[in-house]
Amino acid sequence: MGDAQESVRKVDRGAAPSGCPVSRGADGTWRVHGYAAAREVLRSTDTVQAGLGIETVEKLPARIRRPVLYQDGPGHREQRRQTARFFTPRRVDEHYRELMARVADEQVAVVRRAGRARLSDLSFTMAIEVVREIIGLTHSRPGLKRRLDAFFPEEFGRPGLTSARGLYWLVRQNVNWLRIHLADVRPAIRAHRRRERDDLIGHLLADGCSDAEILGECLTYAAAGMVTTREFICAAAWHLFDDPALQKRYRAAEEPERLALLQEILRLEPVVGRLSRRTTAPLEVGGVRVGTGELITVHVDEANADPEVVGGDPLLLRPGRVLGLGPWAAGLAFGDGAHRCPGAGVAVLEADVLLSRLFALDGLRTAGVPRVSFKDDIGGYEIRDLTVVLPTGG
C-alpha cells in the first residue's frame, strides 16, 4: 500500500500504512499490519487479552469473576459456547428482527415529526433497545440512554487519587456504576429471580454469578454492542450520504446485497482499530519470533486493507469484492479467534434495518459537517454532529 494511494475512508487514524506485516515500535510493542499475521495473533492460544482497560479489571478481588471479554482459556471458551445461542442467525431472525423494525420505525417517526435529528441519537437508541433485549435489561427505570451516555462520555479522564481531576473522574466513574446498577441491573436481576428468562442475565444467574459480576458483564456488552454499533451506523450513513451512486445502489438492493455493502464499509472503517494481545509463550508471527510476555497490537484498519487479501485498491469501497476473507466480508472489524465479537450479525442487521428505512425517506440529507473524535487506546472513533434533515413535508 502506498502513501499516495486513493482512499475513500472517512476516518483518518493518522498513521501512514506500513509495508511490513510485522514491526516493533520504539516502546517494544510488536505491531501487526498484515492480515494473515493479524489473524495468527488473534487466533493463537498462546496469547491473552491486553488493553481494553484490562489493567483496571485485574485489580478486582480474585473472588469476582471477570467479564467474558477479559477471560481466556478453557473457561472463556466454555462461556462463549454457552452464550452462543443468543446470537445464532435463527435467534436473531426470530427474536430480534421484529424489535429492530419497530424501533427503526419509531426513529423514522422522530425524523418526520421534527424534520431533523442527530443520527448518533437515533442509532444509539436502536442499539440500546436491541442489546438490552439480548442482555435482559428490560425492567429499567426511565433514563437508561442518559445513564449510558454518562458512563461512555466522548472524552474519558483518568481516575486517580493524586490530583483534583483524577479524583473527579474516580468519583464520577463510581457514581455512574452505581446509577446503572440501581436503576437497570438490580431491577432486572430481581425480575429474573421472580420469573426465569432465556437471556444473558438469566444465563448468568443460573451460572451462579453475583450482582457485581452481572453488572460487569452488562456494561461490557453495552460497550461492545451499543456504543460500537452506534458509531458504525453513523460511519455507514456518512458514506451513503457522500456517494450518490452508492446510496442509489443501497436503496435499490435486496437485503443480502445491502448487508454485503455495509460490511464493505465496516472493512474500511472498523470501529475498533487496535486490538492488543500479550503472549504467554513464544509465538511465530508473520515469520518473526515473538517472545513470552510481549505485547502485540493488531492494526485492524491496516490489516483490513491488505491488498494480498482484499485485492487491488484496498482503500476504495467496492461491495462484492472477491475476497480472501472467508465468510466475513468485514475482515477483522469484529476481531477473530476466541474473542471474535459474537454479535457481529446482530450489529450489521440492525444497521441495515435502521438505515434502509431512513434512506427510504424522500429528500433525506445531512446538515453540517460530521466531527470525528478518537479513543486512542483502541484506535476507536466517535462520529458526532451528523444531523439528518427532511425537507418540509418530507
Which pLDDT tens digit goes with each residue over 267-286?
999 999 999 999 999 999 98
Range with top average pLDDT, 3-12, 39-48, 156-165: 39-48
pLDDT at residue number 171: 79
pLDDT at residue number 66: 78
Radius of gyration of the chain (CA): 21
Asked if 34 and 258 count as a contact pair (C-beta separation under 8 A), the reply is: no
Q: What is the DSSP string of 104-157?
A: HHHHHHHHHHHSEEEHHHHHHHHHHHHHHHHHT--SPPS-HHHHHHHHS-SS--
Q: Has residue 206 got a pLDDT over 70? A: yes
Instruction: Please write down the long-range contacts of 373-377, taking CB distance under 8 Å and 24 or more positions apart.
Output: 373/154, 373/155, 374/13, 375/156, 377/51, 377/52, 377/274
In one letter, which amino acid is 169?
Answer: W
In one letter, which amino acid is 157?
Answer: G
pLDDT at residue number 224: 83
- The rounded distance, in Å, linking the Cα atoms of 239 and 293 is 40
Name the maximum alpha-carbon separation found in the chain.
64
- The packing angle between helices 244-252 and 255-268, to 10°, is 140
Instruction: Please write down the long-range contacts of 152-158, taking CB distance under 8 Å and 24 or more positions apart.
Output: 152/222, 152/223, 152/227, 154/373, 154/382, 154/384, 155/373, 156/375
pLDDT above 90: percentage of residues in the chain: 67
pLDDT tens by residue, 60-85:
666 677 777 778 888 888 889 999 99
What number is the average pLDDT over the span 40-66?
Answer: 78
- The rounded distance, in Å, linking the Cα atoms of 176 and 162 is 21
SS3 35: helix
pLDDT grade for 320, boundaries at 50, 70 and 90: confident
Q: Has residue 1 got a pLDDT over 60? A: no
- CATH superfamily, with its number, for domain 22-136+197-389: Cytochrome P450 (1.10.630.10)
pLDDT grade for 383, boundaries at 50, 70 and 90: very high
pLDDT above 70: percentage of residues in the chain: 89
- The rounded distance, in Å, linking the Cα atoms of 240 and 44 is 36
- The rounded distance, in Å, linking the Cα atoms of 289 and 282 is 7
Average pLDDT, the chain: 88
pLDDT tens by residue, 91-140:
999 999 999 999 999 999 999 999 999 999 999 999 999 999 999 999 99
pLDDT grade for 4, boundaries at 50, 70 and 90: very low
What number is the average pLDDT over the span 144-152?
Answer: 88
Ranges of each domain in the chain:
22-136+197-389
Select the more confidently predicted residue: 169 or 100: 100
In one letter, which amino acid is 167?
Answer: L
pLDDT tens by residue, 357-369:
999 999 999 998 8
- The rounded distance, in Å, linking the Cα atoms of 217 and 138 is 15
